[in-house]
Amino acid sequence: MGIVAFCPNGHRINVKDSFAGRKGLCPTCGAKFRVPAPGSSSPGPESALPTARLLDLDAAVAATLPRVLPLNREAVAATVAHDAGRPATRDLLPPAEPVLAPAPAPTAAWPTLHPVLAERPDLLWCIAFPGGEPTEPLPAESMQAWLDAGQAEGTEVVWRSDWPEWRPARDVFPDALS
């Protein structure tokens, strides 16, 4: 028959009954888990959270629970006055103090990007040096810093995340490489 188990990362695994109660290793992610007993299955991702259930409350208990009040000052004053059994007046709440927004944080000047980098500054780049491994993906700002530092020789190949193949750096950045 088999047992359906889930690893801690939520991968579904079918296990033979003979492995019930033993430790297992997820073939997808390598996480260790305990195989449940036959007929039961370990909690999967769909049952990770408890389910909510509605309760019938006594009216006396419901009256003691906090309520949400509207943000409108007149409506708040009317609600407070109604709850206290008095007529609504505007002076029940203290005068509102002006809310001052914090000053925006100073932003660093956006670096001037090479036109090819400025086309899509959100894309990632890689550089492959002759006879070496490609770099980790780099943002456009790092590529601009590489160009500005004069480290580019023109013998490298570059790749942008929307390009299907690598291109010679001297073809992509002809004016930046001298």
Mind listing the pLDDT tens digit for each residue in 18-66?
A: 888 888 888 888 888 888 887 654 455 444 555 666 777 788 887 787 7
Give the span between the Cα atoms of 11 and 5, in whole angstroms. Answer: 8
Q: What is the pLDDT of residues 144-154, one digit of tens each?
A: 888 888 888 88
Mean pLDDT taken over the chain: 75
The model's confidence at residue 87, banded by pLDDT at 50, 70 and 90, is low
The model's confidence at residue 142, banded by pLDDT at 50, 70 and 90, is confident
Q: What is the pLDDT of residues 156-175, one digit of tens each?
A: 999 998 998 999 999 998 88
User: What domains does the chain contain, in order, with CATH numbers?
Assistant: 3-45 (2.20.28), 115-172 (no CATH)
The type of residue at 95 is P
Q: Is pLDDT of 84 > 80?
A: no
The model's confidence at residue 81, banded by pLDDT at 50, 70 and 90, is low
93-to-80, 81, 96 alpha-carbon distances in Å = 9, 10, 8
Q: Give the residue from 154, 151, 150, 148 showing the smallest Cα distance to 167.
A: 154
pLDDT confidence of residue 31: 85
Give the span between the Cα atoms of 120 and 140, in whole angstroms. Answer: 8
